Structure 1
Amino acid sequence: IRGPVSQEVLERSVRAIASRHEILRTLFGSERGEGFAEIFSEVTVTIERQDFQEVDHTERAAQVRHFLRTERTRPFDLRKGPLFRVTLLALEPNVHILALTFHRLAADGWSLRIFWKELTLLWEAGGDAQHARLPTLTVQYADYADWQKASLGHGLREVNRAYWTRQLSDTKPPAELPIDRQRLRTRMFEGGVRFRPLSPRLVTDLDRFCQQHSVTPFMVLYAVFAVWLHRYTQESDVV
């Protein structure tokens, strides 16, 4: 974030989002072996602040990366909550990083897009939900969970289980990619993230293609990734 940042406005904005979305005010637990979810009327939202302004410029990036790696491994207490954390990292007086950490029960990649969009609208409105141009919510995540539970209760669960049992009955070993390092004997399940910006022209062409074929950018990019895997593994069923 480049420019002045008001932590007070940021906290008001995040609280407004939590007030709108029940899943951000939901805690989870178990009793007698049965899981349950409990929705609270409000949740305590506090923006943590980490100051890196006094850190030498040559060391700052490394310390920020270390903090972010540590932050994403901090556990959540499903019974106490909240199941998300917001941290503001100050690099310079007018340069900040806003780090969002969510438990998978509270958000996924799709819902994070909604979070960012609403946060932007609220920030522009000074954290005032009454003046932000926020869309009206007609359903909550619990409504979707009820619908899914009802659907599975009509035999869909057995249909899905039978389908995947057939699909995975002849599971192959993981595909061998021509990488320059040996696989670890013990999987650590730690990955990295690589960012590669697309040119505006390519993005425009991609959007046009998606509209013409009634697909999403994710579907197209995932298909490209699958073709790339096939090219290097020579397999059509990649594990």
Structure 2
Amino acid sequence: MSYNNLIEIIDLIQRAEAAGWKITYRNHELAVQVPKNKKAEPELLHKLKQEKERLIQYFEEHVSFEEKHANVPPIKRRESDEDLPLSYSQERLWFIDQFEGSVQYHIPAVFRIKGEVNRALIENALRNIIDRHEILRTIIAEKNGTGFQKILEKGHWNLLYTKLEQAQPNIDLSSYVQDRINSPFDLSADHMMRAELLAIAPDNHILIITFHHIAVDGWSVSLIVEEFRKYWEAFITGQPTNIKPPEIQYADYAVWQRNYFTGEVLDRKLSYWKEKLREVEILNLPFDFPRTDNYKIRGTSFRHRLPEALRNELHSLSVKHGATLFMTLLAAFKVLLFRYNNQEDISIGTPVANRTQPETEHLIGFFVNMIVLRSFLKPDVTFSDFLQQVKKTVLEGYEHQDVPYEKVVASLNSGQGAGRSPLIQTIFGLQNSSQQPELTLPDLDLYPEDYLSTVAQFDLDISITEHGNELVMHVQFNRDLFSSAKIAALCGHYETILGALTKDASQNIGDINLLNEREQDELLTRFQGADVDYPRGETIVTLFAEQVRL
């Protein structure tokens, strides 16, 4: 398969995944699964059928070595509940929680409910989900310095109900909700999902649901939303839910991961990352404020919409160069960072779903993995050529995405310096709006509420959402390092670079303009100075002498 054909197929698979579809290839059979709550887009379905042969060729040529030789053991139900290990990702968050707390790893979902509310139905639906998925009622017990999963009994989770005027009559609603989201979990005692129904008025409520990332990821939230809808509809109609009990649980995955990623298998899989990230440099970002040893996780966010015309031009640019939109956006962002600090070795993290095992598709848990995408930039290299480098790196990263990020960090001896996350401090991702879970329920007027996060996992986290015909940048940043003005300027410079590249991608990286017209005019005016009359008949020498006498 040619490189351009490979990119087209990967882009098609990513489109399907962004729409919530699952494409699998097992035992020489290609299958497309569309969840019941997702609409089957005729155009996408037709494209998949049209490209069936190339899809099969892709899976035949690019599945991992273990999949080709059927050496990856299936995930099976564990034999005992004694000393259940944490997954590698869970272990990392548990260590973070012990040393500095982990409110930055809270995942909130806030909804406004208008009209009459059946509190018992909401509680029963959520409790059924928690009883069904062990990970949501799993606590972490410590034994000789090692963390283990301990599963609580079913039926002990409760929905908190609060009347705002009785709890804190003078408090601002937004502040109250934010305080509830940021209230710490006790990982040794609490369920990993909590919910509070906040009564503002008899016909106006806020439902605040908070998960800990140690138990769920973005994919999991979508599954929870879908299960909540099914339970709610079943309660309303009196019909059975028809939700099959899970064959395995997250703890089974953790046992499998610990047994599989070890010894020769782990060494072989790590070899790529150890070579790719050898002597990697720490990314120097354009901070407004110095990083100190008393590093804090205070964060906020900023949104920036890119013009619709620019989005269309970026798609065309990506197709022309045989790249996906993500590759083009990532390459342009790395150019921006290079222009800011002249650093030639730039590494950025991007999250991947990491549900390569078919058994994990319907599981709730912390599966998402981080891969590090490293690039080398030179001012005299064209963007077109640099995009090819980024494309190659992204493809290789996807091929090796199943290696736990924690193992990559450990293999490189990349400790955490003063206030720094290991290896990466900047995250960049692209998602489609169809990936965002929607919750539409009969007999319940429920609307999502948007609350800005006040904590930050990383120095800079940029997520671009393709929403309809526009691209929306959502920037989460540490406000002890960046000012809001700096982030707004960064987004503006990024848009300028993207626009310049759609007009001419053959420019050298060092020549790409990042200032808009207003900034260029201000710069020229500032350094040009004001116009003044020059005395006729005088020279520089005589004028200087006159100034000395004064």
TM-score between both structures, scaled by the size of structure 2: 0.34
User: 2:106 aligned with 1:2, yes or no?
Assistant: no
State whether residues 139 and 149 of structure 2, in contact with CA within 8 Å, keep that contact through their aligned partners in structure 1.
yes
Q: Secondary structure of the residue that 1:237 maps to in structure 2?
A: strand
Change (3 A) 1:110 1:227: same
The aligned residue for residue 333 of structure 2 is 229
The aligned residue for residue 152 of structure 2 is 40
Paired letter, 1:190:
R
Q: 1:237 Cα deviation (Å)?
A: 2.8
State whether residues 122 and 129 of structure 1, in contact with CA within 8 Å, keep that contact through their aligned partners in structure 2.
no
State whether residues 13 and 127 of structure 1, in contact with CA within 8 Å, keep that contact through their aligned partners in structure 2.
no
The aligned residue for residue 280 of structure 2 is 171
- Distance in 2 (alpha carbons) for counterparts of 1:190 and 1:51: 29
Paired letter, 2:268:
V
Change (3 A) 1:192 1:126: farther
Can you list the C-alpha shifts for 1:30-58, whole angstroms capped at 9, x where unaligned? 11233221223315212123434699xxx
Change (3 A) 1:237 1:128: farther
- Distance in 2 (alpha carbons) for counterparts of 1:52 and 1:197: 35
User: 2:256 aligned with 1:147, yes or no?
Assistant: yes
The aligned residue for residue 474 of structure 2 is none
Change (3 A) 1:128 1:147: farther
The aligned residue for residue 133 of structure 2 is 21
Q: Secondary structure of the residue that 1:120 maps to in structure 2?
A: helix
Change (3 A) 1:173 1:105: closer
Q: 1:174 Cα deviation (Å)?
A: 2.4
The aligned residue for residue 49 of structure 1 is 161
State whether residues 199 and 205 of structure 2, in contact with CA within 8 Å, keep that contact through their aligned partners in structure 1.
yes
The aligned residue for residue 64 of structure 1 is 173
State whether residues 13 and 128 of structure 1, in contact with CA within 8 Å, keep that contact through their aligned partners in structure 2.
no
User: 2:132 aligned with 1:132, yes or no?
Assistant: no
State whether residues 23 and 39 of structure 1, in contact with CA within 8 Å, keep that contact through their aligned partners in structure 2.
yes
Structure 1 alignment gaps of length 5 or more: 206-219
Q: Tell me which protein shows more strand as a share of its residues.
A: 2
The aligned residue for residue 214 of structure 1 is none
Calculate percent identity across the aligned residue pairs. Answer: 26
Paired letter, 2:296:
M
The aligned residue for residue 73 of structure 1 is 182
Q: 1:171 Cα deviation (Å)?
A: 2.6
**Which residue of the other structure, out of 119, 123, 130, is the alignment partner of 2:232?**
123
Q: Which stretch shifts more, 109-118 or 28-37?
A: 28-37
Q: 1:225 Cα deviation (Å)?
A: 4.9
Q: Secondary structure of the residue that 2:261 maps to in structure 1?
A: helix
The aligned residue for residue 95 of structure 2 is none
Paired letter, 1:143:
D
**Which residue of the other structure, out of 216, 219, 227, is the alignment partner of 1:110?**
219
- Distance in 1 (alpha carbons) for counterparts of 2:239 and 2:302: 38
Q: Which stretch shifts more, 111-120 or 186-195?
A: 186-195
The aligned residue for residue 191 of structure 2 is 82
Q: Secondary structure of the residue that 2:330 maps to in structure 1?
A: helix
State whether residues 113 and 207 of structure 2, in contact with CA within 8 Å, keep that contact through their aligned partners in structure 1.
no
The aligned residue for residue 216 of structure 1 is none
Can you list the C-alpha shifts for 1:69-114, whole angstroms capped at 9, x where unaligned? 3223322223322222111233443333322212222212221111
Q: Secondary structure of the residue that 1:87 maps to in structure 2?
A: strand
The aligned residue for residue 192 of structure 1 is 300
Paired letter, 1:232:
L
State whether residues 17 and 119 of structure 1, in contact with CA within 8 Å, keep that contact through their aligned partners in structure 2.
yes
- Distance in 2 (alpha carbons) for counterparts of 1:38 and 1:131: 30
The aligned residue for residue 429 of structure 2 is none
The aligned residue for residue 210 of structure 1 is none
Aligned length: 217
- Distance in 2 (alpha carbons) for counterparts of 1:101 and 1:157: 34
- Distance in 2 (alpha carbons) for counterparts of 1:195 and 1:83: 29
Q: 1:12 Cα deviation (Å)?
A: 0.6
State whether residues 89 and 97 of structure 1, in contact with CA within 8 Å, keep that contact through their aligned partners in structure 2.
yes
- Distance in 1 (alpha carbons) for counterparts of 2:281 and 2:173: 40
- Distance in 2 (alpha carbons) for counterparts of 1:222 and 1:129: 45
- Distance in 2 (alpha carbons) for counterparts of 1:68 and 1:225: 34
Change (3 A) 1:162 1:73: farther
- Distance in 2 (alpha carbons) for counterparts of 1:52 and 1:168: 52
Can you list the C-alpha shifts for 1:172-222, whole angstroms capped at 9, x where unaligned? 232435x7x445545423333456899xx9xxx9xxxxxxxxxxxxxx775
- Distance in 2 (alpha carbons) for counterparts of 1:71 and 1:221: 37
**Aligned-pair Cα RMSD in Å:** 3.8
Change (3 A) 1:224 1:189: farther
Q: 1:8 Cα deviation (Å)?
A: 0.9
- Distance in 2 (alpha carbons) for counterparts of 1:115 and 1:183: 41
- Distance in 2 (alpha carbons) for counterparts of 1:167 and 1:129: 56
- Distance in 2 (alpha carbons) for counterparts of 1:93 and 1:228: 51
